[in-house]
Each structure stands twice: as C-alpha cells, then as structure tokens.
Homo-oligomer: A and B are copies of this chain.
Amino acid sequence: MKLKPLHDRIVVKRMEEEEKTAGGIIIPDTAKEKPQQGKVMAVGEGKFTENGNRTPLSVKEGDRILFGKYAGTEIKVEGEEFLIMREDDVLAIVQ
C-alpha cells in the first residue's frame, strides 16, 4: 500500500532518537517550536499556480529533512507512523 500526497504535501517518516546521524542533530527540549528530523517517503506533484502550471517540490523521496514539531498530521499505515505535511513546513534538507 502506498500514499500519494496531493499538490505541495509530502509523506514523512519521523526519525527516532536512536536513528540520529553521526553528526548528531539534537533537538533542544525547551525550544518553543522544536524542529524534528525525518525521511521523505513520498512527495506531491506541486501546487498549481494561477497559469495552470505546477511548481515542482524542492524535496524528493529519500531526503532527510528538518521540520517544526507541530508540522503535519500523523497517520498510521501498516503499524508504522507517518506524517503528512506541506513542503512549506520543511525547514532544511540535511546533507
């Protein structure tokens, strides 16, 4: 089973603490809006502009991203939890 997010939405698999990279991005507990790390599982085809064209997304499947703590909606597929958010909720791509 697969999810195909619409327009500027993406499906993200949250990366738990134990999945942290060697470099170690640590999310401070006290920050008001905590960034979090995840892996992009699927991306939409982009939002339509007024001219009827789509603006393609800048993140792609497989990207490791940072996003705000309250970004997106949580869903569970086959026992695994995912997040569906808009690309605008993505802060940065981790390279």
What is A's interface to B at a CB cutoff of 8 Å? Answer: 1-7, 9, 11, 21-28, 31, 33, 35, 42, 45, 48-53, 55, 58-59, 66, 68, 73-79, 81, 84, 87-88, 90-95
Residues on the B chain within 8 Å of A24, using CB: 77-79
A42 to B74, CA, bound (A): 26
Instruction: Assess the B73–A68 pair: CB atoms within 8 A.
Output: yes
Copies of chain A in the complex:
7
Instruction: Assess the A28–B74 pair: CB atoms within 8 A.
Output: yes
Instruction: Assess the A6–B91 pair: CB atoms within 8 A.
Output: yes
Residue of B nearest to A24 (CB): B78
Residues on the B chain within 8 Å of A51, using CB: 49-52
A92 to chain B, nearest CB (A): 4
Residues on the B chain within 8 Å of A31, using CB: 73-74
Closest 3 CB pairs of A and B: A1-B23, A26-B76, A3-B92
